[in-house]
Structure 1
Amino acid sequence: MNDPDTLPLPVWRDELELEYAALAERLEPLVPCLEIPLHLPWIDAINKLKKQRGAVIMAHSYQSPEIFHGVADITGDSLALAQAAAACDADLIVLCGVHFMAESAKILAPGKTVLIPDVEAGCSLAASITAADVRALRARHPGVPVVSYVNTTAEVKAESDACCTSANAVEVVEAMGTAQVIFLPDRFLGNYVASKTAVELILWSGSCEVHEQFTGQQARHAREQFNARLLAHPECPPDVWAEADFVGSTTAMGKWLERERPARVALITECSMADNLRARFPDTEFIKPCNLCPHMQRITLPKIHACLRDLRPAVEVPEAVATRACMALQRMLAVGRREAV
């Protein structure tokens, strides 16, 4: 067996075509066919290396298909990955997503090594607010609890009473048991939550650089031009939700598709999610009025291989921050996934 620390770069071998025939068939409608022979040596090398390392690879739904289908052991939205990190038995986790997700995994599994293939894979929402901003909000609104979207740094989570995802934001807000809640940082998700609850929300002005670009006009065009059903993420602006047949988290969109089985659908969210769902629903035509997340795209097969080979970059969270952030994350996990689907 090769030493993982001295492995050569993967190269094409003819036997890969037969060994990964089923995966290649699955990827063929999802990525340009000429790319598949380029991906397979990396996929093969990563799958062998993760077995040698005893690692678990977790991939967010916005990861590209060759990662999502080719090397990931656990896939899902932010809540699913947080739950998996808390329950994971492996001592080594490779988080294929953005930095706040890897931080959350480390906070919930402090005794494990958590690697992220690219430390520069960030998030516009997480960058839009700091711990000092949260403390200032608390000073302006004494006694009002803070609910932070999971798309935040560990330091912001540590200043919060609870975290939430788009899958359980309404339920977490209502679980605070107060007339007012500070909700941050996504103003569009905050507005969506406010439309579903009697709790008054005090909002921050953050937004997702992917979802904020969509417009109601684009959504109408997808419906009228392609006769498509519309599914939108609540991080989109309100005029987009108004056009949508369903608004919900990434996992809830999948459940809606499973139930409704539309002939044609437009997912108004990150592009890779539509690619990955197309494999589950081959009879549905996916129209793609979507945007790629530049941060998610920083995660690649060569970077996953390198981080498994070198066991870095590792994510660390200071203990004092992690302890407080963990309490906020645990409140999120206690609520679980209760959105309507």
Structure 2
Amino acid sequence: MSYQIRPACAADNEAILSLLQGTPQQGAVTLNFERQPDYFRGAKVTCEQPDVWVAEPRDARGKVSAVYNVGWRSLWINGEVRRVRYAHDLRIDPEYRNGMILHRLFRQLRKQLAEGEWMQTTVLHDNQASLSTVASGRAGLPVYYPAGTIETSMLYTRARKARLPADITLRQTNEVDLPEMATLLNRQGRQKQFFPYWDVQRVRGDDYFYGMGPGNFLGLWVKGELKGLLGFWDQKAIKQTRVLGYAKGMGLMRHLYNSHSMLRGGMRLPAPGGVLSYLTLHSLVVENDDPELLRLLLDHAVSFFHGRFDALVCGFFANDPLAKVPARYRRRLLLSEHFLVSFDGDPREQLDSDRPWYVEVARL
């Protein structure tokens, strides 16, 4: 099979969306991770500067048999802001998986990377097919260096009464708070590895912050000083988790499970074809990584959004002390393996070992 591997363009949108729809994740619940209605709009949220490539069969012009994005984001690395690639959205049409297409894609990728350049990527822990192929170290592929496990939590919303200490104020942010928010985000970001660089003025309409505004945060003030932030982002307009079907028996259990969820809180399972109802959290920072301040923010959030969303999605590296806070809530846990990918040696040796690692699940 002969392919043309080329940069993607706007005309490829429908073909890419079709490819994404045709590569679901199988299991007791068959899920599809979609980017309707515009793949490129979502690509501009995942990466500040997308770098999307497609493989087009030469005998089927207009068809996309594979896609990947290795765009750049601005991150704090060793206390400085650097542009780092994030490799994601690698999808190959099942019809073409038995050929040499994966190796051809990686040969193209090798040409794109500068000397010594490395990338981040994540692979779902349950995605054994990917872990055994692209992360296997086969000849011609870059090396995937293990770099931590990510715990993504779906915290079930529910009504609860949270009492704040007398010296603490917790409220939704607004335009006036932006300078103070920028100070906190960049002070905290500089201390961590992989924390996104924030220019909060961009929340007024930048593509990288599509659907976000100055009010899309909960702020926590201690004695009048901003000490914690929790961003929230409804991303249904750019990506969806759609339920395509249920394993035998699960369809009947769905109604019982949903009744239980209405009483105790939980992710309601839609009929096949429906999408899951969740809100993505981002920019979770608290002064001195104080778990008690994070607990106050999450307590407020799970109650504040109850009735509008079934769950709140947040993520931490498993070795982050703050990862213990989401474990206190009723949740569903999803594990992912984080890798640093390079053709030119181990990037982990370049990282300061005393800085905690951060993951922004809203941009995965």
TM-score (norm 1): 0.25
Tell me which of the two structures has the higher relative contact order, counting C-alpha pairs closer than 8 angstroms and 6 or more residues apart.
2
TM-score (norm 2): 0.24
